[in-house]
Amino acid sequence: MQNRIKGKVVAITGASSGIGEATALMLAGHGAKVVLGARRSDRLEELADHIVKAGGEALYLVTDVKQRDDLIKLVKLACDKYGRLDVLINNAGISHLSRMDELQVEDWEEMIDVNLKGTLYGIAAALPVFQEQGSGHIINIISTSGLRIVPLQGVYAGTKNAVRTITEALRQEAGANLRVTGISPGFVQTELADHMKDPAIKAAIKEKAEKIAISPDDIAGAVIYAISQPPNVDVGDIVIRPTAQD
Ligand SMILES: NC(=O)c1ccc[n+]([C@@H]2O[C@H](COP(=O)([O-])OP(=O)(O)OC[C@H]3O[C@@H](n4cnc5c(N)ncnc54)[C@H](OP(=O)(O)O)[C@@H]3O)[C@@H](O)[C@H]2O)c1
């Protein structure tokens, strides 16, 4: 396949671990210039150094996707340093699992702020640049949680399905110059479960992940596929689960 990734400028939120980190490494390995955003500066610095030492190009900026300005600054960094932005990957996300009647309202709000509003802030930061350039690509990392709804995941799945809906509306509005892709991973071996609060739920998720989870590289490969298509080919939805996932 022709390398259509080389030279592309790709900004990634949530690049400090898991799917975002793996995607950054794989994109940089294919010659993309990556612009890394997340809150943990030490992890971003280490990743950017690693990419640069391997001969790639990478910049990073401490980015909290709850802050609209941080997304604007991330996109601006790409444009100031590399002259353009070709792809924005809205990947930052958190997952708090609980029954609805536990009323973990603060957790609900955090998931809405990070998973949903954070993605919207990313879209709002990138769209004006894409419109001015006459090209661009938004990739939203969604989840199979929104495809097979199960107990404990109602609000998490709700935020992801809101993103799915917005992704499709954006695709229809976008016209011929803007590509829009939604990628829904199933169980992936990352740090996502480490941040879960309920010890029993965390242990159960981690145990299941140990048994069946796929690698973040498997999701990064889908990102590579979507970006690698010719400009007139828009990869819409990709669902990637472990074969063993129910
Ligand atoms: N792992 C799975 O099984 C799975 C399945 C389906 C979908 N997903 C989705 O995949 C995406 C990536 O998650 P992951 O599995 O790779 O988990 P992860 O290793 O925990 O990565 C999550 C990333 O999001 C960042 N993040 C969290 N809150 C943030 C904020 N307020 N501002 C900026 N960045 C923030 C984290 O960085 P900092 O803490 O440094 O900010 C981290 O880089 C998420 O959207 C998740 O919902 C994961």
At residue 2 the predicted structure's pLDDT band, cuts being 50, 70 and 90, is confident
- For residue 91, the CA-to-ligand 1 centroid distance in Å is 6
Say if CB 11 and CB 139 are below 8 A apart.
no
pLDDT the model gives residue 1: 65
- For residue 176, the CA-to-ligand 1 centroid distance in Å is 30
pLDDT the model gives residue 151: 96
Is 156 in the active site?
Answer: yes
Answer whether 0.75 is exceeded by the pTM. yes
| Position 48 pLDDT exceeds 80 | yes
The minimum-distance atom of ligand 1 relative to the CA of 193 is 20
Residue minimizing CA distance to atom 42 of ligand 1: 14
| Position 122 pLDDT exceeds 70 | yes
pLDDT in tens, 221-242: 999 999 999 999 999 999 999 9
Mean pLDDT of 123-147: 98
pLDDT in tens, 68-105: 999 999 999 999 999 999 999 999 999 999 999 999 99
Amino acid at 52: V
pLDDT above 70: percentage of residues in the chain: 100
Three-state helix/strand/coil letters over the chain = CCCCCCCCEEEEECCCCHHHHHHHHHHHHCCCEEEEEECCHHHHHHHHHHHHHCCCEEEEEECCCCCHHHHHHHHHHHHHHHCCCCEEEECCCCCCCCCHHHCCHHHHHHHHHHHHHHHHHHHHHHHHHHHHHCCEEEEEECCHHHCCCCCCCHHHHHHHHHHHHHHHHHHHHHHHHEEEEEEEECCECCCHHHHCCCHHHHHHHHHHHHHHCECHHHHHHHHHHHHHCCCCCCCCEEEECCCCCC
pLDDT in tens, 196-219: 889 999 999 999 999 999 999 999
Residues in contact with ligand 1 (CB, 6 Å cut-off):
13-20, 38-40, 43, 63-66, 91-95, 114, 141, 143, 185, 187-188, 190-192
Mean pLDDT of 40-51: 98
CATH topology of domain 9-189+219-240: Rossmann fold (3.40.50)
Return the domain boundaries, the chain: 9-189+219-240
